[in-house]
A and B are shown apart, each in its own frame.
Chain A
Amino acid sequence: MIVHGRLIGDAPFFAVHVQHARFGGIVWMLADTGASRTALLDRDSLSLRIPGDILIPADPPVVGIGGSAATYLVSDVEFTLTGETGLFVRKHDLCVVRHPLESLRTPERARMLRLPSVLGRGMIGPSRFTYESSSRTVTLEFGA
């Protein structure tokens, strides 16, 4: 199954439907091979209205460039992408990252909200990931 993404500038994005028993929605996710997990960042976490009571602190803690933020895991999340021959569906854990937005000044808060959610190696790893800027091609091929 081949799933096509889009290059926005030189950044590879995929539209991913994320579904849990308590929330659901579509997220524009940056394919990020540097991310060990698929993670929702603040903007998308707020848009999807993820309820706080389902968030379990991530163990081990998640660290990225810039330091640590509060990170949580949500289990039993279904990810759906559109493939060439239909839907591609996988169940996976989802990491939810929350920065202390309320303690940030407005310009910094706005910058943090611009961070895209990332499709990490947990989802990309089982695929053949193709990124070719010259032809504006970005795909995930599963079952290759």
Chain B
Amino acid sequence: MAVTMIESLRAFEADHVWVADNRERLLQDHADSWIAVRDGSVIGVDQDFDALLRKIPDPSHTCIEFIGREPIEMIL
């Protein structure tokens, strides 16, 4: 169980890093869209977040990111 959890956390992290590393290419293909990523592959795309959640099998364990043309500054 612990090994599975470690693998899941690392895979999830790797997918977020993959999105960051591939942002320019993803902008060309999916600008202003929400994407779901698993194992370094885009498994779902939609401009509507809720619609994307309905499309993908396990949103609670999936990397979901917005590929936006508009840069935004966040102060949290």
The answer to whether B55 has its CB under 8 Å from any CB of chain A is no
User: Inside 8 A of B5's CB, which chain A residues have their CB?
Assistant: 17, 80, 82, 87
Q: Are A8 and B6 in contact (CB under 8 A)?
A: no
With A34-B76, A43-B64, A64-B76 known as contacts, the answer to whether A17 contacts B9 (CB < 8 A) is: yes
Q: Are B49 and A26 in contact (CB under 8 A)?
A: no
| Contact flags A17-59 to B (C-beta < 8 A → 1, else 0) | 1000001111010101011000000010011110000000000
Q: Are B60 and A9 in contact (CB under 8 A)?
A: no
A114-B49 Cα distance, complex, nearest whole Å: 10
A9-B21 Cα distance, complex, nearest whole Å: 10
User: Inside 8 A of B24's CB, which chain A residues have their CB?
Assistant: none
Q: Whole-angstrom distance from the CB of A63 to the nearest CB of chain B?
A: 13
Q: Whole-angstrom distance from the CB of A89 to the nearest CB of chain B?
A: 9
Partner of B53, one of A24, A46, A82: A46
Q: Whole-angstrom distance from the CB of A98 to the nearest CB of chain B?
A: 14
User: Inside 8 A of B2's CB, which chain A residues have their CB?
Assistant: 86-87
The answer to whether A115 has its CB under 8 Å from any CB of chain B is yes
Q: Whole-angstrom distance from the CB of A116 to the nearest CB of chain B?
A: 8
The answer to whether A70 has its CB under 8 Å from any CB of chain B is no
Partner of A28, one of B16, B53, B59: B16
